[in-house]
Amino acid sequence: MNYALVTGGSRGIGRAICVKLSAMGYKVIINYVSNQTEAEKTLEMIRANGGDGELLAFDVSNQEATANALEAWKQAHEGEYIAVVVNNAGVRSDNLLLWMEPKDWYKVLGISLNGFYNVTQPLLQPMLRKKFGRIINMASVSGLIGLAGQTNYSASKGGLIAATKALAKEVAKKGVTVNAIAPGFVKTDMVEGLDEAELVKTIPAGRFGNPEEVAELVGFLASEHAAYITGECIAITGGLN
């Protein structure tokens, strides 16, 4: 059985990724923090399409909780390993840096950047031993061009892109690829509160993206066909750059 772990898999882009990877034959581990109802809906969607998965609750920003959850999973699945990791969990807490509270800085970086380390580091060794692994990090256009009011978010996603490039060089010889995806404005809970009508004017494609469009790229990068693509950050922004 091939397993794929998607952090923040209960809603939005994460849900679409879970459904896509399941359709490719992966048994999907749906990570969530507290919204079990939405995580179960994702699992129901997967099963309705003939796939299967399981739920795994932990906060990616909590190193001890993450390590314990992953270790418990390993013990319950002896002889198996997680071949695909999608570091999708993230959170926005926007404000101008002038007025940004410390908690908003550390929370955003903790989930996106520390979460990448907490999840990926314990899962690397089996990938290297099996000589196959796919690590896909969900960055953002904010990490590429910077967006006013998102200094914390831009910092976390920019750091994630840099980490992607560095790790890719460390593991490439063992058949493990590491790539990042930088979505622009995609119709999910993450864009709630933003002025869509005004933002659309800045997007050459003239619309927000859909989660399924991002999931399609994740599916390709997770496949055998993408074996020679690593250390890249691919933008899905409708031309916004």
**89: Cβ contacts below 8 Å, ≥ 6 apart:** 7, 8, 14, 31, 33, 60, 111, 112, 115
**5: Cβ contacts below 8 Å, ≥ 6 apart:** 28, 29, 31, 56, 82, 84, 85, 86, 119, 123
Give the Cα-Cα-Cα angle 105, 108, 110 (nearest 5 degrees). Answer: 100
Going from the C-alpha of 216 to that of each of 20, 119, 159, 165, the distances in angstroms are 7, 23, 24, 21
Rounded to whole angstroms, the Cα distance separating 38 from 9 reads 9
Tokens of 52: 């299967």
Going from the C-alpha of 150 to that of each of 14, 56, 75, the distances in angstroms are 21, 30, 40
Which residues form the catalytic set? 153
DSSP 228: T
Tokens of 43: 């699992």
DSSP 186: B
CB 55 within 8 A of CB 5: no
